[in-house]
Amino acid sequence: MTLPTLNQMRRSSRQEFHPLTLLQREIDRLFDTVAQGVPSSSSLGTSQLMVNMDVAETDKEIELTAELPGLDPKDVDISFAGDVLTIKGEKKSEREEKDKNYSLVERSYGSFMRSVQLPAGVDPDSIKASFDNGVLKVTVPKPAASKAKKIAVNR
């Protein structure tokens, strides 16, 4: 085993108190603290599902596409309030535990909720949704763009 030289020890102690090193330690500590409250992917099984979703936009509409494998349309609730579109539902467990010893469980069950802020002025009655092969597609027509109007100043 080699002992550190005096110069190496001085360099090491200077790094211990260097402002950037201290900042890095504080950031690491902060992330460690936050991560303790976040469930790991292995513990998500029956609590909260993560729904994969794409949001695309054309000149005329906004299209949200969400993957919801294993769900029926009756298991999905779509609501619109205050310019926020919310998709939520629950995937219930279909497993029969009788006489089975699982060696691998990768499928997830539980509730989910995703919300998307939409532009102001969307007509809720114009929002359309379809569900096909476990894929939910929500189409939202964009509100008409407000036209600039010149206002005359009276004398």
Query: For every one of its 155 residues, what pLDDT tens digit does the chain have, with 9 covering 90 and above?
Result: 566 565 555 554 445 566 777 778 778 777 766 655 554 444 444 456 778 899 999 989 999 999 988 888 988 999 999 889 999 998 877 666 667 776 776 677 788 899 999 988 889 999 999 999 999 999 999 888 777 888 889 98
Rounded CA gap, 53 and 13, in Å?
A: 49
On whether both 53 and 11 belong to a single domain, the answer is no
On whether both 12 and 75 belong to a single domain, the answer is no
- CA 56 distance to own-chain centroid: 16
Backbone φ and ψ of 68, nearest 5°: -135, 65
On whether both 49 and 116 belong to a single domain, the answer is yes
pTM over 0.85: no
The answer to whether residues 145 and 119 touch, using CB atoms and an 8 Å cutoff, is: no
- Is position 26 within any domain? yes
- CA 127 distance to own-chain centroid: 22
For residue 126, what are the domain limits? Answer: 43-94+108-141
- Is position 155 within any domain? no
